[in-house]
Chain A
Amino acid sequence: MPEKLQKKYGPDHGEDGIHSIQKVIEPPKGSTKHITRNILIGISALFLLVMLILPLAVVVVNALKEGWAAYSAALLDEYTGKALQLTLLATAAAILVNTVFGIFAAYLLSKFYFRGRELVATLIDIPFSISPVIAGLVFILTFGSVGWMGDFLTAHNIRIVFAVPGILLATIFVTFPFVFRELFPVMNAQGKDEEEAAGLMGAGGFTIFRRITFPHIKWALLYGIILCSARAMGEFGAVSVISGHLRGKTNTLPLHVEILYNEFNTTAAFAVSSILVILAALILIARNLVEWKTK
């Protein structure tokens, strides 16, 4: 019996008769901390209710206010379908580009040492610190008809601003750092010993990545992709600036919601919003699955 206890609680590091884990997980009896704890829980619950649960409930209630028929009509509307398609396309583009780029960048910055590493890492974070609206404006100033690439693009009949390519670019831009940010710490902590060991045995770059690096980063990668998709689907600011709001052409779901709302078409606006809520819920479930899996 004493042996069992010893195992469960680990060694008595402090040599004060209290085993290490016990110190952490079992608070002293009759603690007055109960009140503090309950107040904190209460405040948190209230905060969550007002800030998260109530607004989401409002979306659902308003969406269904005029009955199921109105709700499904709003969802089956042609422009809603187009907007959903564009949102999914932009999300897919963001995932594809940022996954490839994120893996390359994280691999480069964690496995090789060169001057300016920190600078590159900081640059990658720019989309997080810059306002999305400004990001959109930057694209207009670069690729728009008045922009410095404008003449070239017009001459070759390429449309970026107020067109689908602009939407894709803006979405990719704002979701740029997610995958990198999830991968970098994991790859950095792994060090490069295993890769070097494999390299010394004659393995090529791709084999090393597939058999050594990838198994180590796959959950972090998936997590980064999930965060990236969540942000890509919800992006409003940058996309709004560059879209031009052409219905059925350059409207994403969030933009479509805004247009409907501004037309006092509240029910439809909330109905379309509910698609985003459902997508968000799916992403949240996926995220929790990944978190649970990596524990």
Chain B
Amino acid sequence: MYVEMQHIHKTFDGFRASNDVSFGVEKGHLAALLGPSGSGKTTILRMIAGLDMPDSGEILLNGVRVNELPGSKRGIGFVFQNYALFRYMTVAENIAFGLEVQKKGKKEIKERVDELLELISMKELGKRYPNQLSGGQKQRVAFARALAPNPQLLLLDEPFAAIDAKVRRELRAWLKEMIEQVGITSIFVTHDQEEAMEVADTIIITNQGRIEQIGTPEDICREPQTDFVADFIDCRRFQLLMAIK
């Protein structure tokens, strides 16, 4: 799905959380919203999902204005910062929920759940409850749950924030691979530039509610467009990364 934000403004009680935000993400691409804490990343993601309404500006999905369309009708899968797994449902029930709500047939639901459990390599753990899972497993269930109704756009808010550094690297590679395999357009939020550089096709840098720069990791390192970007992005680490690759 092709995503476009045009001149989006959003204030909370007079505080400017989004200030003239415009960007586009091409179909099939994986984009990262990167910026310091409080720079408005989550706000942007929530507006795309329909959880918050912009004060002005347009949100276009596949070229169609969706400002007035409820989030549930936008064909979006959302992975919350702390996963927000339904804690009184098993892993399988969590994944099935979106399909049950759509009144899909029992057999179809079961097949889809099994397929997704296989995809996240958790076939044996379908009957577990979220509090019996490790952080990485929860993350994978949240991913499968978001994918179950076959969305065209996947939004992930700090998908790795609650996971310790070691597992994070593995999971990051896993997620990139999964997203490529499914071929779904995805936007993920992070404040970890290494993560953004390593995973994303496009990086959107936010600061104080504004977009500072949009580009590939290489572009941003080669030509930082604002002082903030030059200061914020540490390209030595990135160059090292490229050298290793």
- Cβ–Cβ contact A199 & B72, under 8 A: yes
Among B82, B101, B102, the most chain A Cβ lie within 10 Å of the Cβ of B101
Q: State which of B83-91, B159-167, B218-226 sits at the interface with chain A.
A: B83-91
Give complex CA distance A200, B101 in Å. 11
A114 CB to closest chain B CB, in angstroms? 11
With contacts A193-B80, A193-B82, A196-B51 known, is A201 near B87, CB below 8 A? no
- Cβ–Cβ contact B88 & A193, under 8 A: no
Give complex CA distance A272, B97 in Å. 53
**Per-residue A-contact encoding for B72-106, CB less than 8 Å = 1, 0 else:** 11001010111011111100000001100110000
B46-81 CB contacts (< 8 Å) to partner A: 49-51, 71-73, 76, 78, 80-81
A194 at interface by CB-CB < 8 Å: yes
A245 at interface by CB-CB < 8 Å: no
With contacts A199-B71, A201-B97 known, is A216 near B87, CB below 8 A? yes
Residues of B within 8 A of A212 (CB): 86, 88
A198 at interface by CB-CB < 8 Å: yes
Residues of A within 8 A of B88 (CB): 212, 215-216
Residues of B within 8 A of A196 (CB): 51, 80, 84
With contacts A215-B88, A216-B87 known, is A197 near B80, CB below 8 A? yes
A275 at interface by CB-CB < 8 Å: no
Which residue on chain A has the smallest CB distance to residue B84? A193
- Cβ–Cβ contact A194 & B86, under 8 A: yes
A8 at interface by CB-CB < 8 Å: no
Residues of B within 8 A of A199 (CB): 71-72
Residues of B within 8 A of A265 (CB): none
Give complex CA distance A212, B149 in Å. 19
Residues of B within 8 A of A215 (CB): 88
- Cβ–Cβ contact A203 & B101, under 8 A: yes
Residues of A within 8 A of B71 (CB): 199-200
Among B50, B51, B87, B88, the most chain A Cβ lie within 10 Å of the Cβ of B88
Residues of B within 8 A of A202 (CB): 72-73, 98, 101-102, 149
B103 CB to closest chain A CB, in angstroms? 10
A22 at interface by CB-CB < 8 Å: no
Among A201, A202, A212, the most chain B Cβ lie within 10 Å of the Cβ of A201
Which residue numbers of B lie inside 8 Å of A, CB to CB?
49-51, 71-73, 76, 78, 80-82, 84-89, 97-98, 101-102, 145, 149
Which residue numbers of A lie inside 8 Å of B, CB to CB?
193-194, 196-203, 207, 211-212, 215-216
Across the A-B interface, the 3 shortest Cβ-Cβ residue pairs? A193-B84, A201-B98, A215-B88
